[in-house]
Amino acid sequence: MMRSLHRLAVVILVLLVTTSGCGKVPGTGKKKKSSTSQRPPPVAADAYGSVEEAIAELITSAEANNLQKQDRAAHWLADRGEPAIDPLSAILLGSDQPEPARIAACQVLSKLGPGARPALLRASDETVQMVRISATRRLGLIRPSDQQTVDRLVTLLGHKDQQTRRAAVQSLGSIGKPAEAAIDPLVEVYNNKQNRDLIRNDAIQALKKINPRKDFTDLLLGN
């Protein structure tokens, strides 16, 4: 009798769950993903009164590690385009600016097109490691790329700092086919056993992105 009542209770519970729309019984199916859950809400054009106001929030939120406000300001500035380049470049290249703000400015500049390239090229020679690495990585994201950028990144392949070398390798991979002049230097990076395995593996990936059809096996030592 007790077993029958227990089974009846279970059946009633299952019916209530499946008919109420509250969800699915575990194992019977997957929940639908929200179509908007993966996308950040757009930033209204009037969210900030000026570029300077948005940059001020970018700086303070970067220092406070407030990613939500930082992303909000960054997206708004990226939408402004060219008018944001000069003030953001001043932040990136300002040695008196806090490091998190300089890196945040670098990230936005990489979305603003070729006009932002000069500031990133200068910052790739920065003495502050993380600013230099950020600028080096972001150089490969500017479209269209140019020979000056490729030449600069090839030079950075020989930087004394391993993380900077790795950033240059990754950046050349991001550029892809226009970085064909970097093929031989990247082969040298791989063949240099003093480089860490991460850098050498990244060099292979970069070579494949630059020329997917070429077989580099004969050029790579140890393969």
Sketch out the chain's domains with CATH numbers. Answer: 47-143 (1.25.10), 159-223 (no CATH)
The percentage of the chain sitting over the pLDDT mark of 70, rounded to a whole number, equals 81
Average pLDDT of the segment spanning 119-133: 98
The CA distance from 189 to 201, in Å, is 10
Distance in angstroms between the alpha carbons of the first and the last residue of the chain: 73
Average pLDDT, the chain: 86
Average pLDDT of the segment spanning 187-203: 95
Which two three-digit tokens encode residue 53?
């106001």
State how far Cα 42 lies from the chain centre. Answer: 19
Predicted confidence (pLDDT) at residue 130 exceeds the cutoff of 60 = yes
Contacts 24+ apart (CB under 8 A), 77-84: 77/51, 77/108, 78/108, 78/111, 78/112, 79/43, 79/45, 80/51, 80/54, 81/112, 81/113, 82/112, 82/113, 82/115, 83/51, 84/51, 84/54, 84/55, 84/108, 84/112
Average pLDDT of the segment spanning 79-98: 97
DSSP code, position 211: -
pLDDT digits (tens, 9 = 90+) for 134-175: 999 999 999 999 999 999 999 999 999 999 999 999 999 999
Which stretch of DSSP H or E encloses residue 63? helix 51-63
**Considering only 4-8, 180-184, 205-209, which range has the smallest mean pLDDT?**
4-8
Predicted confidence (pLDDT) at residue 123 exceeds the cutoff of 90 = yes
In 111-222, at which residue ranges do the beta strands (DSSP E only) sit?
none
pLDDT digits (tens, 9 = 90+) for 9-46: 444 443 443 344 444 434 444 444 444 445 566 899 99
pTM higher than the cut 0.85: no
